Amino acid sequence: MQTDRIDRAILRIVADDARLSVSQIAVRVGLSQSACTRRMQALEGAGQIRGYGARLGRRALGFKVRALVDITLSTQVEEDLAAFERAVGAIDGVVGCALVSGNQDYRLQILCRDLDDYERLHREHLGCLPGVLTIASSFVLREVPTRSEADAIFGAG
């Protein structure tokens, strides 16, 4: 789906504050509420809007440790990759899993309450994943503010 200036404005507004009503978005982009609704439905249908949500304060919720975990598998057979991905999807605390290029096969992002919680997750789940050959964990010491996805896609303005 080709997007125009108004679609991009809608995408930016929704990315910045998904709590706004369609009528508020319509006013900001200069459309009627019904025209804005049709555009938003088209953006959803094209997969350009995949959902709406809140950014949670993980530290305020008690998750103080973010681990980056690189995993190498013993094989690259598609069935083994699929089995690994299914198993990872069932682990609470895993907030990201990407098949990557380089020396590792996967990079996981994991949220834990503390290091004891991570050690438990490693022992009970990561070490039992199918096909795992190596696991290398790093811990985030400081998160540096970066651009939002909307800023990266559409620019800061």
CATH 3.30.70.920 fits domain 65-139 = yes
Average pLDDT of the residues in 14-32: 94
Q: Is residue 2 pLDDT above 90, yes or no?
A: no
Q: What is the pLDDT of residues 66-108, one digit of tens each?
A: 999 999 999 999 999 999 999 999 999 999 999 999 999 999 9
- In the chain, CATH 1.10.10.10 covers 5-45
Residues 97, 98, 100, 105: what is their CA dihedral angle, to the nearest 10 degrees? 40
pLDDT in tens, 111-137: 999 999 999 999 999 999 999 999 999
Average pLDDT over every residue of 2-24: 92
pLDDT for 42 beyond 70: yes
Domain with CATH 3.30.70.920 in the chain: 65-139
The CATH code of the domain at 5-45 is 1.10.10.10
Q: Where are the beta strands (DSSP E) in the chain?
A: 65-73, 94-99, 106-112, 132-139
CA max distance for the chain: 57
Query: What's this model's pTM, rounded to 2 decimal places?
Result: 0.82
Instruction: Give residue 146's pLDDT band: very low, low, confident or very high (50, 70, 90).
Output: confident
What gap in Å lies between CA 126 and CA 155, rounded to an integer? 38
Sign of the CA dihedral running 137, 138, 143, 145: negative
pLDDT at 157: 60
**Cα-to-chain-centroid distance, residue 93:** 13
